[in-house]
Amino acid sequence: MIRFTEVTFTYAEAAEPTLREIDLTIEEGELCVVVGPTGSGKTTLLRAINGLVPHFTGGHLSGEVSVDGRSTREYPPRELADVVGVVGQNPSASFVTDVVEDELAYTMENLGIAPTVMRRRVEDTLDLLGLHELRARPLMTLSGGQQQRVAIGAVLTASPRVLVLDEPTSALDPAAAEEVLASLTRLVHDLGMTVVLAEHRLERVIPFADRMVLVPGRGEPLIVGTTAEIMATSPVAPPIVELARLAEWSPVPLSVRDARRMAEPLRRRLSEVHTPSPAPDPDLVPPPVVVVEQLSVAFGEVMALGGVDLQARRGEVVAVMGRNGSGKSTLLAQLAGVRPPTKGRVDVLGQAPSGLPPRKLIKLVGLVPQDAGVLLYGETVAAECATADSETGLPPGTTAAMLAAVLPGMSMEHHPRDLSEGQRLALALAVVLAPAPPLVLLDEPTRGLDYPSKHRLVTLLRKLAARGDCVVLATHDVELVAQVATRAVVLADGEVVSDGAARDVVCHSPVFAPQVAKILAPDPWLTVDEVRHALTGARR
């Protein structure tokens, strides 16, 4: 169905090829997962499937890419739309209408599909992706995860034979992500559709994958194999595989169910070790940085937050969790002073953030939104860092040094729009964190980040908390919560339904529990590092 023959691609003005001499065949009815480090070329590989590379991106492409017998060199993307459907990393960038139902029908209108067929396909897609309650909603009122599902649905209504998705679950809560992946699996198994997706959160996708393609980056050859073959040796691995390597399980399990069947000896070894769960000393509880009282926010008739009470203190990393549309991003926007609350009060170190001038606000509160690109407007990465230093009165090189800590080795001469989603996020993080605001707000901070980049982010957040900053992050990444959060707050329909120590909250939730907790339950272990340290201590 998809064939790459000796494909080499170099972006304009780039010194080295992003893809070098690639030979790859993806068969019909296959679910293929593309993995690799941030910036390794995964998105470039996906864009080459429908001709966006090089027809849209520019650059030089040698070799041949064909889809269902059509050469992307001869057929531009618009003439492949009936064969290949593409969903990018930023779903809102693809929207062309205002309402969910209209967006689902738009592609079919361009393809000249009969109205009766259009109606049936729209209804099928609404049911398939659980969008029926949103059909009349304006797109701009949807959460990031809801927008992601609409973007996938808008592509599916055209009934393509190949579906290409870039980070399709990055903005989805765990339950919604499983629903989308299950839907993709049905398309593969029941309809014979070929699905190619790039994903960093491998813990979600490896049980569904038929084959994996590892893109090492730096123009190195692809590594292609079954999921088990790739996971046996891949440097990019989810917690379940890391735990299997630590416990020396063979074969490596790819699902929580298989891992639990192999984990009984490990659970027995760990049963004699106490899990680290220190209770805070009430005499050492620091003062709050944020105080929220009876906060309510309404968008027209939609009540996004209703009567929220919350405090966050110095040295805390507070994870705000919940289903898509539960109010997480709205809460962070209120803490950042984006707009005044409809009712209630927000206080950050004795000040209402919505009333502060921008220059004063950025030194009090730093917010990185879901779409990190909205913070970037420089011509190059170097210019972006220099402007950030100038506007905040920092010594030259401060933001660049922060960027090197978040994501080492990024080229300073690239334009921000030419960066991958993960690289743009790292740059936005550097810009926001460089002024050292005492309150740091991160909305889906691991979107687009590979495991090494996520590890560096965790280290950075721990340093921020250690120096007394308060970090509040809205996330669907339960593994991030397990690694770094001290508290977890769960929202549902704009209300706080759970607030407590992160270990207690996530271990008692079948939805938000990390993989290690599910495998080793009922004991409340959260991460592979905890297990490793416990076993090392037991041996000593």
| Fold match between domain 2-244 and domain 286-521 | yes
Mean pLDDT to the nearest integer, 111-139: 90
Q: Does the pLDDT of residue 154 top 80, yes or no?
A: yes
Winning range, highest mean pLDDT, from 124-138, 445-459, 476-490: 476-490
Question: pLDDT value at position 275?
Answer: 59
What is the Cα–Cα distance from 480 to 393, expressed in whole angstroms?
Answer: 32
Which pLDDT tens digit goes with each residue over 163-216? 999 888 877 888 888 878 888 888 898 888 999 999 888 888 998 899 999 998
pLDDT top residue among 9 and 39:
9
Q: Does the pLDDT of residue 283 top 70, yes or no?
A: no
What is the Cα–Cα distance from 398 to 120, expressed in whole angstroms?
Answer: 56
pLDDT cut 90: percent of the chain above it: 57
Mean pLDDT to the nearest integer, 353-359: 89
The full DSSP string for 129-187 is TT-GGGTTSBGGGS-HHHHHHHHHHHHHTT--SEEEEESTTTTS-HHHHHHHHHHHHHH
Question: pLDDT value at position 259?
Answer: 95
What residues are paired with 501 via a beta bridge? 487
Contacting residues for 490 by C-beta, under 8 A, at least 6 apart: 321, 322, 496, 497, 498, 499, 505, 509, 512
The domain defined by 286-521 folds into Rossmann fold (3.40.50)
Winning range, highest mean pLDDT, from 270-274, 314-318, 322-326: 314-318
Question: pLDDT value at position 327?
Answer: 92
CATH placement of domain 2-244: 3.40.50.300
Which pLDDT tens digit goes with each residue over 395-447? 999 999 999 988 888 889 888 888 877 788 889 999 999 999 999 999 999 88
Which pLDDT tens digit goes with each residue over 79-89? 888 899 998 87
pLDDT top residue among 120 and 451:
120
pLDDT top residue among 514 and 447:
514
Instruction: Judge contact between 31 and 204, C-beta under 8 A.
Output: no
Q: Does the pLDDT of residue 276 top 60, yes or no?
A: no
437-474 burial, b at 16+ Cβ within 10 Å, e below that, comes to bbbbbbbbbbbbbbbebbebbbebbeebbeeebbbbbb
What is the Cα–Cα distance from 51 to 62, expressed in whole angstroms?
Answer: 13
Which pLDDT tens digit goes with each residue over 485-504? 999 999 999 999 999 999 99
Q: Where are the domains of the chain?
A: 2-244, 286-521
pLDDT cut 70: percent of the chain above it: 97
Task: Name the band, by pLDDT with cuts 50, 70 and 90, for residue 540.
Answer: very low
Instruction: Judge contact between 97 and 103, C-beta under 8 A.
Output: yes
